[in-house]
Amino acid sequence: MRILIVEDEPDMALLMSRRLNRAGFACDQTGSIGEAMEALRLSPYSLVLLDRRLPDGDGAEHVSALRRIRPEVSVMMVTALDAYRERVAGLDAGADDYVTKPFNGPEFLARVRARLRGSAGVRSLPPIRLGRLAYDQYSHELTLGETPFHLHKRELALLGALMKRANRVATRPELTNEVYGLDRDVSAGALDTLVSRVRKRLADVGATVEIHLVRGRGYLLTERAS
């Protein structure tokens, strides 16, 4: 699951990012409400970690605007505003949780995991099935028949993105955003190289699906014709 950190203090953003990465989460960072809105338009984040004091306003005042873009996203306030009335204001504004700085690392991660488990809209979605593959949109796990199908992190992100768009074109920007996230210097051929690796893995295990290049647009995942 991908997490968006909205934090304008570089040291704090780096601290959260490192903790989340070590715990196995993929995350991106933005430093303002405006950047966060643009990021949400581009990528399907499961959780937003939102500061209150941001350059373009109080994060609490923009929770509803973020949810208009991604209605299913969970929002956790992570802020130094720790007074009782501030916590109440943040929760009343629509935040699902409120964590104050400085925070305890293990508790912070536990609350992140709890919020992700509580993403009921995602958990209620059935697995996507195509050929012999099934993709769980909540756990981000793949199975081949009844057997878990393990891929490296970016290979899994790519195939998951294609499974969510099965039988329709996934554009290059969509795939790049989901696989590599924001603010990454991705070479022009990185996505194509990754697609080539995933194609080989699918062929090796007899997944009965194919990734097609749609020139000028992106890639298309379909069940292989018998």
Q: Digits of tens for pLDDT over the chain (226 positions)?
A: 789 999 999 999 999 999 998 888 889 999 999 999 999 988 888 899 999 999 999 999 999 999 889 888 899 999 999 899 999 999 999 899 999 998 998 999 999 988 887 664 455 567 899 999 999 876 778 999 989 999 998 899 899 999 989 999 999 988 888 888 765 677 879 999 999 999 999 999 999 999 999 999 999 999 987 6
From 104, 122, 140, the end of a domain falls on 122
pLDDT tens, residue by residue, 79-107: 999 899 999 999 999 899 999 998 998 99
The tokens describing 87, both together, are 């916590």
Burial of 145 (0-12, 13-18, 19+ CB in 10 A): exposed
User: Same structural domain for residues 117 and 152?
Assistant: no
Are 101 and 143 within one domain?
Answer: no
CATH number of domain containing 111 = 3.40.50.2300
Do 10 and 30 lie in one domain? The reply is yes
Do 108 and 145 lie in one domain? The reply is no
CATH code of the domain containing 178 = 1.10.10.10
- The residue out of 122, 142, 168 marking a domain boundary is 122
Residues 176 and 117 in one domain: no
The pTM for the full model equals 0.63
Q: What residue numbers bound the domain in which 212 lies? A: 128-223
